[in-house]
Amino acid sequence: MEILLVLMAVVLLVAVVMPYVRRRRGGFAGGIRQVAPGSPDAADPADYGFVREEQLDIRVPGPDQDLMDALGNVQRSGHWQAASALLAGTPKEGEQRWQRVQSFGGAAALELVREPGAGARWLKSWRLEAEKDAGGAQVHAELLVQQAWRHSGGVGSTDHRIILEEARDACRRATLLAPGDPVPYITELAVARALGYTEADFDVLWARIIDLAPQHMGAHLAALHYWCEKWHGSREKADAFAHAAAARAPQGSLLAALPLFAVYEHLPEVNLVQSFYRSAVVTRAVEGAMYAVRTARQDDPMLAHVRHLLLVFLVNMERWAEAMEQVRHVDGYVGALPWSTAPDPAATYAVYRALAVAGYEANGGSPATLPH
């Protein structure tokens, strides 16, 4: 049992990174239990060629070299044209445009945190010099949403609400510049959650999204957050939404994994018992997500999101080989749930990765037996 005792001691020492208590409005949820025996010296993630913790990319869930090149260009040069060109060439129907808009908006938000009033000059120039550029309008709306959630003085504060109302207006202006693009509507879903849209108002917004992109996984995740927020005292509405979407999902759609995200949103307040991860609800949700991963296109931009969440559940279920399979596919990138809600996403992911490696090796696995 030494490996688990050592790893659990590490987890307790970094409790700020891996809290056992479920997040409330933006913390990490997911209890670590005592798992498998083994030797801490033998269980080294570096033996598998995994990326060192300090080199993990917290900006994106998986590789997107075109995005990284454009983002590097705008941040080095202060010019917005590379970002505009990338978004103009990204199809509006798929998931990738939404992810890229989120990444640009998130990068701008982080710059403004580091340099208040001076950061994200490229985005300011973009909006001033190309006011009718749809990509710039969408990134600006996303920036406002991220500022509201991360740096506005807390949920319910006056600043929080003012920024969200500005974000709502920015989303609606962005829809006028690209009427067939679902991204501004999806961004507004985060506003709907925070400002407490009525169900009638939400239904109008959701109908527009479904009309434009009925299978959009990112949109469904954002809508799920709305239902979980609105019905925080009861999980029935959110679960019904997730299971209905999964039931309607065509072959190869990652929407079959949506019930797992609903389970994650409703993790118990304190989650330390093995029986929870052995429950029928969790098992069904995990199997649905595993099916979605197996049948989805391997270049689906949302596939990494599902694999990241699966890793948490598979580790806690002691399904080591399957957990390691997720690590093999996502390692290097941690810009996704559940890591993105933690104070230190890279450290949180690294603890789960270490547990997966330890359990895998304790049950006979090795670098030689992990498929490449």
**Residues paired with 333 in a beta bridge:** 57
Q: What pLDDT was estimated at residue 34?
A: 43
Per the CB < 8 A criterion, the answer to whether 336 and 106 are in contact is no
Structure-token pair, residue 69: 């090149």
Going 329 to 333 to 335 to 338, the CA torsion angle's sign is positive
DSSP state of 27: -
pLDDT in tens, the chain (372 residues): 444 434 444 343 333 333 333 333 344 545 544 444 444 444 688 899 999 999 999 889 999 999 999 999 999 999 999 999 999 999 988 899 999 999 999 999 989 988 888 889 999 999 999 999 999 999 999 999 988 877 555 556 778 789 999 999 999 999 999 989 999 999 999 899 888 888 899 999 999 999 999 999 999 999 998 888 766 555 788 889 999 999 998 989 999 999 999 999 887 654 556 688 889 999 999 999 999 999 999 999 999 999 999 999 999 999 999 999 999 999 999 999 999 888 899 999 999 999 999 999 999 999 999 987
Instruction: For residue 327, report the phi and psi dihedrals to the nearest 5 degrees.
Output: -60, -45
Give residue limits of the domains in the chain: 1-59+249-372, 65-230
Per the CB < 8 A criterion, the answer to whether 44 and 357 are in contact is yes
Instruction: For residue 333, report the phi and psi dihedrals to the nearest 5 degrees.
Output: -135, 135
Q: What pLDDT was estimated at residue 13?
A: 36
What is the rounded distance in angstroms from the CA atom of residue 4 to the CA atom of residue 8? 6
- What is the pTM (predicted TM-score) of this model? 0.86
Class of domain 65-230: mainly alpha
Instruction: For residue 313, report the phi and psi dihedrals to the nearest 5 degrees.
Output: -70, -40
Q: What pLDDT was estimated at residue 117?
A: 81
Residue 194 burial (C-beta neighbours within 10 Å; 0-12, 13-18, 19+): buried
Amino acid occupying residue 4: L
Burial 107-144, CB ≥16 within 10 A → b, else e: bbbbbbeeeeeebbbbbebbbeeeeebbbbbbbbbbbb
Q: What pLDDT was estimated at residue 187?
A: 95
- Cα-based torsion angle of the residue sequence 318, 307, 346, 22 in order, rounded to the nearest 10 degrees: -70
